[in-house]
Amino acid sequence: MQLQVGTTRIAKETRRSPHVVILVHCPDEVGLIYRITGVLASQQLNIESNQEFVDVTTSHFFFRAEVSLKTCCSAESIAQLKNALVHNLPERANIRIVACEPRPIVICATQEPHCLGELLLLDAVGELPGRIVAVISNHNTLRNLVERFDVPFHLVSHDEISREEHEQHVAELIDTYMPETIVLARYMRVLTNNFVDRYSGKIINIHHSFLPAFVGASPYRQAFERGVKVIGATAHYVTAELDAGPIIAQDVIPVDHGFTAEQMAQAGRDVEKIVLAKAVRLVLEDRVFVHSGRSVVFS
């Protein structure tokens, strides 16, 4: 990215540089925070903020802390910290320590520009805590938009090949970028379980929906016909069951009877892009846990 937006971009990097994020989750037991914070205290590390949550229904413990480092976060110092945590926490504890550099994401899109454009713009102006390394699409429609932002655009056409073959091409391309997160920004392809499993816990999707839901075709038509007053959007992790993965962010936008089907669709696009941007930021800042199919979001 060559875009110079001066102070904003710099501000972002300054703000994040001297931190690591520590993520722990495991079955709950007495004294977990005591042991985690004991390790940090013994290493003279200061907790700038932390959030902790015990899901009492599953007795599962979730912990996130931002810790300021005195020096830059070397691989070595992180390994040392992780080691100390591993030795002091239960064997089953899931421990992650995330350093401070912005992480790569790949976006898959089809023909709609609203969600993709919002993410490209946020990255360009320094308000995305990550960087978009590539956009993959099964159509050429969005190439021009993507290339304006100096981001590689890859067309992987689905013409005359099977779903499995197409996914195979997409997956190979994704893997060359080694992203931690894959964002489906209105990617209008049904994914196979194979693909979902390959990137388990890494794919984020966005879709609009209504209160209550409309089953069957033409949801905007049905929404219009019943006179809905809000349109919602849900960003979630993708799992094998369609649209049933753990929820990361949701919001709604008000509409009324005066909205045509087209205007309702525009309201739907507006709320989709706002919610997807929020979800991507939360994920890139390591604020989202998923355990037993449920999300815990420390916003």
Q: Which of residues 174 and 187 has its CB atom nearest to a copy of itself in the complex?
A: 187
Q: Which of 171, 173, 266, 287 binds a copy of itself (CB under 8 A)?
A: 266
The residue assigned the tokens 């300021």 is 68
Q: Which of residues 171 and 297 has its CB atom nearest to a copy of itself in the complex?
A: 297
How many angstroms separate the Cα of 30 from the Cα of each of 34, 50, 70, 158, 222? 9, 18, 31, 53, 51
Question: Per rule CB under 8 A, is residue 88 in the interface with a copy of itself?
Answer: no
Interface region with a copy of itself, contact rule CB under 8 A, candidates 31-39, 69-77, 92-100, 180-188: 31-39
Helix (H) or strand (E) holding 114: helix 114-124
Q: Which of 69, 107, 196, 228 binds a copy of itself (CB under 8 A)?
A: 228
Q: Is 55 an active-site residue?
A: no
Question: Per rule CB under 8 A, is residue 268 in the interface with a copy of itself?
Answer: no
**Are the beta carbons of 109 and 142 closer than 8 angstroms?**
yes
Cβ-count burial of 35 within 10 angstroms (0-12 exposed, 13-18 middle, 19+ buried)? middle
Peptide bond connecting 129 to the previous residue in cis, omega within 30 degrees of 0: no
- What residues from 138 to 177 belong to the interface with a copy of itself (CB under 8 A)? 141-142, 144-145, 148-149
Question: Per rule CB under 8 A, is residue 261 in the interface with a copy of itself?
Answer: yes
Question: Per rule CB under 8 A, is residue 41 in the interface with a copy of itself?
Answer: yes
Report which DSSP code applies to 273: H
Question: Per rule CB under 8 A, is residue 178 in the interface with a copy of itself?
Answer: no
**Residues taking part in catalysis:** 243
